[in-house]
Amino acid sequence: SGASGKVLTPPRQRSPARPLSAKTEPGSPKRPSSAASRRKYMQECDQRSIVPDPLAFNTGHSEKLLAVCRGLQDDELLSIAATLCEKTQVEEINLRDNTRLSDKGLAPFLREFATIGHLCEGLRGINLTNCKSAGPRSLDVLLELTCSATHLRSLDVSGMHISTKFQLGFCKAIGEHPTLESVGLARTGLGCTCITLSCLTNLLSSTSNKRLDLSWNVFNQKEFQNFGEMIVLNNRLEHLLIDNCAGYVVGQDTPVSELIERLAHDSSLRSLSVCTNRIDFRAALVIEDSLEGHGKLSRLYLKNNPLGVLGLRSILRLICRPTSRLSRLDIEGCYNGTPTEESLPDGDVSTQVFSFTNPSGKYKLDLSIPYHRSLCRMLYERTDDFNLSPDKAFVSLSYSKPPYSHPAKDSNDQYQVLREGILSFTFNLESAIDIKWSKIADDDYVGFLNEHLSMMRTSPHMAKITPLLANWKAIDGMEMEQKTFLSALAADFNMKVPYLDYMVKASKGASSEALFRLLPSIPRDGNSPFLAMTLFPRLQDFFLTSLRMQDFLNFNPSNPTGHYKLALENSTAFAVAQQLLLLDRWESVVNLRNERADTSQRGNKSQIRNGFHQGRSLHLLVHTLTEWAVPEVGEFECDYSTCYRPKKGCKPLSDALWENMMMGIYSSPCRQEDRLKVLRSISHHFFVSAMHIRQMIGYFRNPLDREEACIMFWPRVVDQYNGKIFRVRFEKQEDVIRLQERLGHATFFPFIQPENARFSLNFAINDQRLCGCMFVQLMLKEKIGNIKDPVYIRPDGTVMDLVVGIPRSWAEPKTVPTGGTFSGRYICAPEDRNFDFRRKLAVTYGYSSQDPTSNDVMWWTGLTEPPEDVLDLLEFFISRYNDVDEAFAKIDGSADASTGNGEITLREFEAGIKTIGCNKFKGPDEQARLNNIFRYLDPGGEGSISLSEWRVLGQLWNEFDLTIREFVQFLIIAFGEDLQDAWESLDDDGSGALSESEWFEAVNNIGYFGPARVVFALLDSSDDGDISYNEFQVLENYKGKQKSTT
């Protein structure tokens, strides 16, 4: 290659020869035999009737026989051989690719060199590559020549089949030769024989050889072991080529790993070629482990190996290590190679793949396998990175050949891992995480991720960024190789915007792909992601790429609560999965630091719930998620429920600001799912109140969207003790069950207001078992019998007799049954409430930091909790009384017309209903309906209703009133202050009245998704089934005052 970078082609050998009579130029060396050799050559050609070949060697103008790919035949070579006696010196023989030469011509030709002493002494190089027709006579003479040519420096017989008879002799001759520096034995048939070990031992006993090419031979595991050991002992070899030498054994790793592992103790190699050796991610990890401290190796050729993303990650980490001299790679054709269940021991992909970013997990290592030994060493090196004792990182450790002691480092700073036995353990870095980042605030999730990824991922050393980017430029135009290169970088590397800028410019055709895959590796510092986005060459590239990385762009690590469904082949989705597991482990550390109770789904201290990989529940694969390394294939689905709760003193947004935000959401032309994405992206910047959540829920048509909005802001609600205000808006039991499953039964537990809570708990699941325990504790603290209709079905399907009551032992989490289902309903009279104990439960299991009093709580009852008759009675009261206390006073004492005593008996209640003129219950079942109402208002079963019990109707009244006010507020947002405009839109046919079905259809069309039945029941004061405009005007009384924007 010239200075301009162009390839310079050497001149053809068949150039016109000088005339034989031409004089030698002044100053040139004399060749006294040139004329004689020319005459001799011409005579031989005449005798053999062949055309003379004007090679410079034949004409006497060169001491090197350079006849590469000349198509020489035996007679032509014999003609040349006849002239050798006239030669004073021959420096080099190069008969490469002359496949027609056989023993007839080659053996006599080589014999001339072996018998003519001065020619033998002057010979410096022999190249017989691909002289395939050479037989045993040629090999015999060549062996003799190799031994006698004491100044020989280069010998290449690649492509010549060397029979077993001559292999050991050749190897001994090469090993004992004093001056040989380059040996080529590719495709010669070495390997897998009884003498192979001796051949390799002799080859590598040479004290002069610096380059050895053994490519396209076949060696087994034991031979590679010996090979590696001899290279280390030799310590002179600088260039080694062993392409396509790995013998294939079904179900086993490539045996070349044995050689590579031993190169950790070598200090002489400068280049290594292991192309086409079935090197996958396992052998690549061995390469990373063994060569990271090599002081001289600068070139590594890996062409046509199934590295895949996993394998290339190891190679790129190696090239970026400051202790490595590696700078040049050849990775063409290395894009294939995804780990499968069949490719790994025990058929388990997740437990045996090493993740540099997240190495924690459960491992079972066969230490007789190089990959497992390297993996074990890498884990020990990670403990060094964290200054963590191996005893703390390697837990639940067992060894098949005890005793086991942790390995020490040798002189090369490599751990001396045992080479036999099965080692099983769980690798855990949580204690190190707690120590390393103890100064990070518990709620600084982004700060933790940045610090953790900065520590756990590879940051290219400043001296190594140039070779890294140079190798990226070298594969420009190789689409599959580039995708693999980018995926490897995205998985393990911390990148910077300038690096991405160079990569985009160096390969314009892969610019969008580079940004797509590497954006997750940019630190979340506020500026870098934005600057990286500006690198897209065109706006349409940005738009199309953003569609592919929705999972990453929508992920908010400061508020990760939500549902995730991630295709792990997508590198951005994989990054989200990795960060979710990191946050989960961080929150485990935070909970341990704050001595919080374990409210996880499986009792494994995890915030991840309902985890599935490829449709298979994760709890069937691993007990704890610390044992699970995220695979890079398949679909990962889970719910994340953070343990974060607002600190004491946090203030929610002002009502006016929240209403402005909701108006913007309502009037936006975006899709509902896009509105949710926007809310998620900003959700961590502010706190909200329970009333805000209730208002927001009404702006979403789809029940699943309302559910998503509620879950998204759940950790941001400052007054969860008032959470029943918005819980009651989820009227269907299936909606409540989904919330419980996604947030967690313990997280969703109604700590402060458990009244009328219905439950059906699976005691096989930790958090549901904990909820059953809390209900029993509440009952014991407040009043025996508060759990109504209890049913416990054992795991075998039999029903437990609870006639004598629920076992008191269930108040202790450890003594609750670990199977079966427990269902019932919790009630409590106001006078029986133990508010302090409820608050204690909220702190212990709900992680609440608030300290509310009973007066701070907005005691509430949902419209779906009481029987329908209770609601009918309440509708009657609302239309006639100012509050429920006034109605109580009217009924109290009605039976005997005496002064009320503050309690209402059943007799008084029946008489009072008649006295106030309520005819809603007229009919043959009037008595039963009134009894039903009375039992609801007398939850304690004392036979009388106290004023505090009666005020449950006041809670329902508040729900009625708030529902109607919310509806009016919605109409004002949608149509303005004049409600007549709203009426005209609702009554689109201009009939002047709306039936119940017309009402439901009309409010749905205008985008109101709240409890429309309640509003209709209030407005239909005439009970005729229609609403007139006059009745609609009642809503004027429910207009709220304008709130201050301060």
d(CA 750, CA 771) in angstroms, rounded, equals 10
Rounded to the nearest angstrom, the gap between the alpha carbon of residue 285 and the centroid of all alpha carbons in its chain is: 19
Looking at the DSSP assignment, which residues form a beta bridge with residue 995? 1026
* Helix or strand (DSSP H, E) at 841: helix 835-846
Full strand arrangement of the beta sheet holding 422-427 = 361-366, 422-427, 394-399
* Residues lower than pLDDT 70 in the chain: 1-33, 338-351, 893-900, 1040-1046
SS3 426: strand
| DSSP string covering 898-936 | ----SEEEHHHHHHHHHHTT--TT-STTHHHHHHHHHHH
For residue 491, the model assigns a pLDDT of 83
Q: What is the dihedral of CA 746, 752, 756, 760, to 10 degrees?
A: 10
Contact between 933 and 953 (Cβ < 8 Å): no
For residue 117, with 0-12 CB atoms within 10 Å meaning exposed, 13-18 middle and 19 or more buried, which class applies?
exposed
For residue 33, the model assigns a pLDDT of 53
Contact between 174 and 147 (Cβ < 8 Å): no
| DSSP string covering 877-905 | HHTT-SSHHHHHHHHTTTTTT----SEEE
For residue 333, the model assigns a pLDDT of 93
Preceding amide of 403 cis, omega within 30: yes
Determine how many CB atoms are found less than 10 A away from the CB of residue 689. Answer: 21
State whether the Cα torsion 955-959-964-966 is positive or negative. Answer: positive
For residue 429, the model assigns a pLDDT of 80
For residue 202, the model assigns a pLDDT of 93
Phi, psi of 43 (to 5 degrees): -65, -45
Determine how many CB atoms are found less than 10 A away from the CB of residue 425. Answer: 21
Pairing state of beta strands 422-427 and 562-567?
unpaired
For residue 87, the model assigns a pLDDT of 86
Q: Helices 690-697 and 952-975 meet at what angle, rounded to 10?
A: 60
Q: Please name which of 723, 755, 749 lies closest in space to residue 830, comparing C-alpha atoms.
A: 755
Q: What is the pLDDT of residues 1006-1035, one digit of tens each?
A: 877 777 877 887 787 777 788 888 888 888
Q: Tell which phi-psi region holds residue 886, choosing left (phi > 0), alpha (psi between -120 and 50) or beta.
A: alpha
For residue 436, the model assigns a pLDDT of 74
